[in-house]
């Protein structure tokens, strides 16, 4: 009789690690690609419902630009996608402030969120309060000192929502990427109370150069994106709960005449110093938008002559005095090993799906990068087998 030998036989086992690929779908661009390009998406957030919808008397219906059911139908190759409702958005603060001001208000807001989820069938919410404690769109009209109470009220609102919707519903939050904004409500002292209620945070590593700045820089560069991510990790966000953001749109800014270098060039005044209103000297548009007539020539020149400086893509139109900043597939690819992999982040997200139509070039790039760096892969393990 032969002595039993241990023979290694290949047996497939799957080592699964949670990872996220989140897309915002906006009412401005509710456009979908072929469903094959949506197969890897884990979450889609429908943007937006107004925060004011959740205060006061509960509505009999919940208005949204589409329905959860119709969005699910677009993901025929991806039945496990989580469909979420994004609440708030840039400039929408009144509902949050009103709700957060009292325990009664917070509970009413939370109960209405649960009612909305029950009504729509959504899998969770993404809270887009931009920004608790100040530095929002109205920062010149309502000072940060007048909003300082919101810093402590924000995690209390999250706690009330979590209690209402329970542990099985998803709750995430969009959070600012500029250090000057992070330090308002997302510090080491405050984040511990915030992050424990959230499944993940979408760190807005775009618009990092905006109309409040006075010199040019990349709006979604590698360096300033990494600074944002590292700040949150240092302040207490677990890396597995952090998502790196990608922008499927272009930004432009008008500059002064006497620039010595394109990056670091002085801009013209871009917002009213008294009101904070946009002066029309900067802006953005998506890949699905028609390029504004007065920017057409400069934009096409920028596309044909873009510059890569190891931090991001840009072009400075000397003739028109316009600085352009945007992500390309190549710059997106650079961010994954430098930021996502090195910091062991749990996911990525993009604003927004339809903004990348009709070619969906950036979406296809993000798909490939997600598969390479984040998507759980089957791993082979070997199990012993007795053989006579």
- Reduced to 3 states (helix: H, G, I; strand: E, B; else coil), residue 12 is strand
pLDDT, tens digit, 9 for 90 and up, residues 192-205: 999 999 999 999 99
Overall average pLDDT of the 147-154 stretch: 98
pLDDT at position 313: 97
Q: Which two tokens stand for residue 294?
A: 């007065």
Q: Is the pLDDT of residue 380 over 70?
A: no
Q: Measure the CA–CA gap between 371 and 240, rounded to whole angstroms.
A: 17
Q: Is the pLDDT of residue 31 over 70?
A: yes
DSSP H helices in 75-143? 94-100, 103-120
Confidence of residue 18 (pLDDT cuts 50, 70, 90): confident
Overall average pLDDT of the 106-115 stretch: 98
3-state helix, strand, coil in the chain (%, to 5): 35, 25, 40
Q: Is the pLDDT of residue 36 over 60?
A: yes
Who wins on pLDDT, 17 or 313? 313
pLDDT at position 356: 99
Closest CA to 307 of 276, 338, 369, 261: 261
pLDDT, the chain, mean: 93
Q: Is the pLDDT of residue 47 over 50?
A: yes
Calculate ∠ Cα 135-141-146, nearest 5°. Answer: 65
Pairing relationship of beta strands 322-326 and 249-254 according to DSSP bridges: antiparallel
Q: Measure the CA–CA gap between 356 and 280, rounded to whole angstroms.
A: 24
pLDDT above 70 covers what percent of the chain? 93
Q: Is the pLDDT of residue 7 over 60?
A: no
Confidence of residue 339 (pLDDT cuts 50, 70, 90): very high
Confidence of residue 38 (pLDDT cuts 50, 70, 90): very high
Contact status, residue 232 vs residue 204, Cβ threshold 8 Å? no
The Cβ of residue 296 has, within 10 Å, a number of other Cβ atoms equal to 11
Q: Is the pLDDT of residue 361 over 50?
A: yes
- Domain definitions of the chain by residue range: 5-248+328-387
pLDDT at position 379: 67
pLDDT, tens digit, 9 for 90 and up, residues 217-262: 999 999 999 999 999 999 999 999 999 999 999 999 999 998 889 9
CATH topology of domain 5-248+328-387: TIM Barrel (3.20.20)
pLDDT at position 377: 81
Q: Measure the CA–CA gap between 265 and 263, rounded to whole angstroms.
A: 6
Segment holding 361, helix H or strand E: helix 361-373
| Least confident residue range of 13-22, 104-113, 224-233, 300-309 | 13-22
Q: Measure the CA–CA gap between 331 and 325, rounded to whole angstroms.
A: 11
Confidence of residue 384 (pLDDT cuts 50, 70, 90): low
Confidence of residue 387 (pLDDT cuts 50, 70, 90): very low
pLDDT at position 353: 98
Pairing relationship of beta strands 82-88 and 124-128 according to DSSP bridges: parallel
């Amino acid at each position: 009789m032969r002595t039993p030998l241990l023979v290694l036989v290949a047996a497939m086992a799957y080592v699964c690690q949670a990872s996220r690929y989140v897309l915002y779908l906006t009412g401005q661009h509710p456009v979908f690609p072929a469903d094959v390009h949506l197969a890897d998406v884990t979450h889609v957030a429908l943007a937006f419902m107004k925060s004011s919808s959740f205060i006061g008397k509960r509505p009999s219906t919940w208005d949204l630009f589409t329905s959860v059911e119709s969005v699910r139908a677009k993901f025929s190759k991806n039945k496990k996608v989580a469909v979420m409702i994004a609440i708030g958005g840039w400039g929408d603060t009144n509902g949050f402030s009103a709700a957060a001001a009292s325990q009664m208000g917070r509970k009413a807001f939370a109960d209405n969120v649960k009612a909305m989820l029950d009504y729509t069938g959504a899998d969770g919410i993404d809270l887009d309060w931009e920004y608790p404690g100040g530095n929002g769109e109205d920062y010149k009209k309502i000072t940060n000192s007048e909003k300082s109470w919101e810093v402590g009220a924000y995690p209390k609102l999250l706690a009330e929502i979590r209690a209402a919707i329970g542990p099985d519903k998803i709750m995430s939050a969009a959070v600012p990427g500029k250090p000057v904004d992070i330090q308002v409500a997302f510090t080491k002292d405050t984040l511990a109370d915030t992050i424990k209620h959230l499944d993940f945070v979408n760190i807005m590593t775009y618009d990092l150069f905006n109309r409040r700045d006075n010199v040019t820089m990349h709006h979604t560069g590698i360096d300033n994106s990494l600074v944002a991510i590292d700040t949150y990790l240092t302040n207490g966000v677990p890396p597995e709960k952090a998502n790196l953001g990608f922008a499927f749109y272009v930004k432009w800014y008008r500059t002064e005449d006497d620039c010595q270098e394109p990056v670091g060039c002085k801009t013209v005044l871009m917002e009213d110093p008294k009101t904070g209103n946009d002066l029309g000297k900067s802006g953005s548009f998506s890949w699905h938008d028609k390029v504004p007539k007065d920017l057409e020539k400069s934009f096409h020149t920028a596309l044909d002559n873009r510059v890569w400086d190891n931090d991001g893509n840009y072009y400075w139109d000397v003739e028109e005095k316009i600085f352009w900043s945007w992500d390309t597939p190549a710059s997106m690819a650079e961010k994954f090993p430098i930021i996502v992999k090195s910091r062991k982040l749990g996911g990525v997200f993009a604003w927004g799906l339809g903004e990348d139509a009709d070619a969906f070039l950036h979406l296809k790039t993000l798909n490939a990068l997600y598969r390479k760096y984040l998507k759980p892969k089957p791993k082979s393990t070997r199990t012993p087998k007795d053989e006579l």
